[in-house]
Amino acid sequence: MNSVAFLDAVRDRHGLDSDNKLAAFLDINRGRVSLYRTGARTLAPVDCHKVARALDARPEYVLACVQAERAKRSEDRAAWNRLAMLAKKAGAAPAAVLVALSAGLLPYQAKAANVLCILCKVRPVGLPRPIDRGDAPLPA
Protein backbone atom coordinates (compact mmCIF):
# COMPACT_ATOMS: atom_id res chain seq x y z
CA MET A 1 0.00 0.00 0.00
CA ASN A 2 1.09 3.57 -0.55
CA SER A 3 0.25 6.82 1.27
CA VAL A 4 -2.89 7.48 -0.79
CA ALA A 5 -4.15 3.93 -0.29
CA PHE A 6 -3.69 4.25 3.47
CA LEU A 7 -5.60 7.56 3.50
CA ASP A 8 -8.39 6.01 1.43
CA ALA A 9 -8.54 3.04 3.80
CA VAL A 10 -8.95 5.34 6.80
CA ARG A 11 -11.69 7.29 5.00
CA ASP A 12 -13.55 4.11 4.08
CA ARG A 13 -13.21 2.48 7.49
CA HIS A 14 -14.45 5.50 9.40
CA GLY A 15 -17.01 6.75 6.88
CA LEU A 16 -15.29 10.06 6.24
CA ASP A 17 -16.63 11.68 3.08
CA SER A 18 -13.99 14.38 2.58
CA ASP A 19 -10.30 15.00 3.05
CA ASN A 20 -11.19 17.84 5.43
CA LYS A 21 -12.86 15.32 7.74
CA LEU A 22 -9.96 12.93 7.26
CA ALA A 23 -7.47 15.64 8.23
CA ALA A 24 -9.48 16.50 11.33
CA PHE A 25 -9.92 12.83 12.26
CA LEU A 26 -6.16 12.12 11.98
CA ASP A 27 -5.20 15.53 13.41
CA ILE A 28 -3.13 16.32 10.32
CA ASN A 29 -2.94 19.68 8.59
CA ARG A 30 -5.31 19.79 5.58
CA GLY A 31 -2.51 21.05 3.33
CA ARG A 32 -0.37 18.08 4.26
CA VAL A 33 -3.20 15.71 3.35
CA SER A 34 -3.33 17.42 -0.05
CA LEU A 35 0.42 16.88 -0.49
CA TYR A 36 -0.03 13.21 0.37
CA ARG A 37 -2.96 12.91 -2.05
CA THR A 38 -1.08 14.46 -4.97
CA GLY A 39 2.01 12.35 -4.34
CA ALA A 40 4.17 15.39 -3.61
CA ARG A 41 4.97 13.86 -0.21
CA THR A 42 4.72 10.50 1.47
CA LEU A 43 3.31 9.97 4.93
CA ALA A 44 5.56 11.32 7.66
CA PRO A 45 6.49 8.81 10.39
CA VAL A 46 4.24 10.53 12.95
CA ASP A 47 1.36 10.36 10.48
CA CYS A 48 2.12 6.68 9.79
CA HIS A 49 1.49 6.00 13.47
CA LYS A 50 -1.81 7.92 13.34
CA VAL A 51 -2.91 5.96 10.26
CA ALA A 52 -1.89 2.66 11.87
CA ARG A 53 -3.98 3.45 14.96
CA ALA A 54 -6.96 4.43 12.80
CA LEU A 55 -6.73 1.16 10.86
CA ASP A 56 -5.84 -1.04 13.86
CA ALA A 57 -2.71 -2.02 11.92
CA ARG A 58 0.84 -2.53 13.09
CA PRO A 59 2.81 0.72 12.83
CA GLU A 60 5.77 -1.29 11.53
CA TYR A 61 3.68 -2.35 8.56
CA VAL A 62 2.62 1.20 7.67
CA LEU A 63 6.14 2.56 8.17
CA ALA A 64 7.67 -0.17 5.99
CA CYS A 65 5.09 0.37 3.23
CA VAL A 66 5.83 4.09 3.19
CA GLN A 67 9.57 3.43 3.15
CA ALA A 68 9.01 1.15 0.14
CA GLU A 69 7.10 3.97 -1.51
CA ARG A 70 10.02 6.36 -0.87
CA ALA A 71 12.72 3.94 -2.07
CA LYS A 72 14.49 4.95 -5.26
CA ARG A 73 16.18 1.63 -6.03
CA SER A 74 14.12 -1.43 -6.92
CA GLU A 75 16.25 -3.58 -4.57
CA ASP A 76 15.48 -1.27 -1.66
CA ARG A 77 11.78 -1.20 -2.54
CA ALA A 78 11.65 -4.99 -2.68
CA ALA A 79 13.40 -5.27 0.71
CA TRP A 80 10.96 -2.81 2.32
CA ASN A 81 7.98 -4.64 0.79
CA ARG A 82 9.24 -7.95 2.21
CA LEU A 83 9.66 -6.33 5.62
CA ALA A 84 6.17 -4.85 5.40
CA MET A 85 4.72 -8.30 4.80
CA LEU A 86 6.73 -9.71 7.70
CA ALA A 87 5.56 -6.90 9.97
CA LYS A 88 1.95 -7.45 8.92
CA LYS A 89 2.11 -11.17 9.66
CA ALA A 90 4.63 -11.61 12.45
CA GLY A 91 4.78 -8.89 15.03
CA ALA A 92 7.69 -7.64 17.08
CA ALA A 93 10.50 -9.60 15.40
CA PRO A 94 10.56 -7.51 12.21
CA ALA A 95 10.58 -4.33 14.28
CA ALA A 96 14.26 -4.83 15.09
CA VAL A 97 15.05 -5.26 11.41
CA LEU A 98 13.02 -2.18 10.55
CA VAL A 99 14.96 -0.14 13.08
CA ALA A 100 18.24 -1.32 11.58
CA LEU A 101 17.07 -0.51 8.07
CA SER A 102 15.68 2.86 9.12
CA ALA A 103 19.19 3.70 10.25
CA GLY A 104 20.26 3.22 6.64
CA LEU A 105 21.82 -0.23 6.86
CA LEU A 106 20.68 -2.09 3.75
CA PRO A 107 22.26 -5.35 2.61
CA TYR A 108 24.21 -3.82 -0.28
CA GLN A 109 25.54 -1.12 2.06
CA ALA A 110 26.58 -3.70 4.63
CA LYS A 111 28.66 -5.51 2.03
CA ALA A 112 30.29 -2.27 0.98
CA ALA A 113 30.98 -1.24 4.57
CA ASN A 114 32.06 -4.77 5.56
CA VAL A 115 29.88 -4.78 8.67
CA LEU A 116 27.64 -7.36 10.25
CA CYS A 117 24.23 -7.44 8.62
CA ILE A 118 21.55 -9.88 9.71
CA LEU A 119 19.91 -9.80 6.28
CA CYS A 120 22.90 -10.77 4.19
CA LYS A 121 25.08 -12.49 6.84
CA VAL A 122 28.16 -10.37 6.14
CA ARG A 123 30.79 -10.49 8.89
CA PRO A 124 33.42 -7.81 9.51
CA VAL A 125 36.97 -8.70 8.57
CA GLY A 126 38.72 -10.40 11.48
CA LEU A 127 35.55 -11.50 13.25
CA PRO A 128 35.98 -15.19 14.11
CA ARG A 129 33.44 -17.71 12.92
CA PRO A 130 31.16 -19.07 15.63
CA ILE A 131 32.22 -22.29 17.29
CA ASP A 132 30.43 -25.28 15.78
CA ARG A 133 28.64 -27.04 18.60
CA GLY A 134 27.10 -29.53 16.20
CA ASP A 135 23.53 -28.68 17.12
CA ALA A 136 22.71 -26.25 14.32
CA PRO A 137 24.06 -25.49 10.85
CA LEU A 138 26.25 -22.42 10.60
CA PRO A 139 25.35 -19.62 8.17
CA ALA A 140 27.62 -19.28 5.17
In a domain, 132, yes or no: no
In a domain, 53, yes or no: no
Whole-angstrom distance, CA of residue 127 vs CA of residue 138: 15
At 86, the pLDDT band (50, 70, 90 cuts) reads: confident
In this structure, are 72 and 39 located in the same domain? no
In a domain, 134, yes or no: no
In a domain, 129, yes or no: no
Region of 56 on the Ramachandran plot (φ > 0 left; ψ -120 to 50 alpha; else beta): left
Note the pTM of the prediction, 2 decimals.
Answer: 0.65
In a domain, 130, yes or no: no
What residue numbers bound the domain in which 8 lies? 1-45
Domains of the chain: total: 2
At 20, the pLDDT band (50, 70, 90 cuts) reads: very high
Statement: residue 19 has pLDDT above 70: yes
Whole-angstrom distance, CA of residue 125 vs CA of residue 46: 38
pLDDT value for 33: 95
